[in-house]
Chain A
Amino acid sequence: MRHFFRRKSSCQVAKDRLKILLISDRVNCSPEMMELIKDDIARVISKYMKIDSENMEIQINAKTGKNGRNAKPILYANIPIVDVNMQDLAANR
């Protein structure tokens, strides 16, 4: 029975690696560029709410689907919010 519950098949490992590899290949966006985008997004959002810009993450993902080649990539941003009290911020401005 242990045989059935062994590690992930090497085929699955290959597919998982390719999925990540091809997204960054296709997007052709350098890490420096991503950093710049991240800083800009953080600055804009900070105008309206207090965010934890240290721990924010952005990444570009390709939509998976049958028409995979034509699917447009999506930019995901995970931005931890520290304080949503927008009234305060508005008053501060």
Chain B
Amino acid sequence: MENQIFPEKKSSEVIVVTSGKGGVGKTTTSANVGTGLAKLGKKVCLIDTDIGLRNLDVVMGLENRIVYNLVDVVEGNCRVKQALIRDKRHPGLYLMPSAQTRDKSAVTPGQMIKVIEHLKEQFDYIILDCPAGIEQGFQNAIAGADRALVVTTPEVSAIRDADRIIGLLEANGFKQMDLIINRLRMDMVKRGDMMSAQDVVDILAIPLIGIIPDDENVVIATNQGEPLVGGDSPAGRAYANVVQRVEGREIPFLNFEKGISFWTRVSGIFHRV
């Protein structure tokens, strides 16, 4: 339908959400960016590439509707369409779950590319939730992608891993890599006990696409299985802005994203001494 109304539809974009380190918010980011794009009327397919440790289905609240999964598709046990779960809350949003009982070696990069090529015909966005680590799961997740969202938190370990991931993505020919800084705590930044978004960007030196504040609503949303993007919570608003920027719009960063008060700057001078 959309093709008829907008004959010059932008070709589909394949985005991998990756971080290196585990537990920094890849799955939460995949769920929220995917849901946010669907809310804008895009056709979105989320793919959980973490074989053996699937989580995206739970964060999306779709765990009870899984019949077939990614491994079934590559092994030919079902058609691609049969493995796609439609999210009834958002038209145009689909999830391809990963297998829980297999391991990373069940899929190869070549097979991933094939599945993605097939999905490209029907979707505006394909979002791949990458597993932690840099082994085969990572290679599978990036194989078919042409763009990456690198998620990190303002901690030494997460930034170190993100730097390694960025190097690997560069080596694999990625041109577009954007940074999401997750779980930023402005109060700690102001005290000088957490790196600011600017500090992290200076170190990693890739374009910043989003800053997500540390927000307890993320935990609540995950409990309920409903991404909070677009809602009234700080993280919900921040993710909505990420979605706009993924779409290519220039959206100014929210207040907490910038904010260093005059007094902090003054006391910061003393702290530095």
Q: Which residues of A contact B (CB under 8 A)?
A: 4-6, 9-12, 14-15, 17-19, 21-22, 25-26, 66-70
Question: B195 near A14 (CB under 8 angstroms)?
Answer: yes
User: Which residues on A sit within 8 Å (CB–CB) of B164?
Assistant: 25
Instruction: Report the minimum CB–CB distance from B134 to chain A (whole Å).
Output: 12
Question: A9 near B193 (CB under 8 angstroms)?
Answer: yes
Q: Does B250 contact A (CB under 8 A)?
A: no
Q: Which residues of B contact A (CB under 8 A)?
A: 155-156, 159-160, 163-164, 166-167, 170, 189, 191-196, 199, 202-206, 267, 270-273
Bound state CA distance, A67 and B201, in angstroms?
11
Q: List 8 A-B contacts (CB under 8 A).
A: A5-B273, A9-B271, A18-B160, A21-B156, A68-B202, A69-B170, A69-B205, A69-B206
Bound state CA distance, A70 and B167, in angstroms?
11
Interface of B is mostly: helix
Question: A15 near B167 (CB under 8 angstroms)?
Answer: no
Question: B163 near A22 (CB under 8 angstroms)?
Answer: yes
Instruction: Report the minimum CB–CB distance from B208 to chain A (whole Å).
Output: 13
User: Which residues on A sit within 8 Å (CB–CB) of B273?
Assistant: 4-5
Apart from A12-B192, A69-B204, list 14 A-B contacts with CB within 8 A.
A4-B270, A4-B271, A5-B273, A9-B193, A9-B271, A9-B272, A10-B192, A11-B192, A15-B199, A66-B205, A68-B202, A68-B203, A68-B205, A69-B206
Question: A22 near B160 (CB under 8 angstroms)?
Answer: yes
Residue of B nearest to A6 (CB): B271
Bound state CA distance, A67 and B166, in angstroms?
14
User: Which residues on B sit within 8 Å (CB–CB) of A22?
Assistant: 160, 163, 203
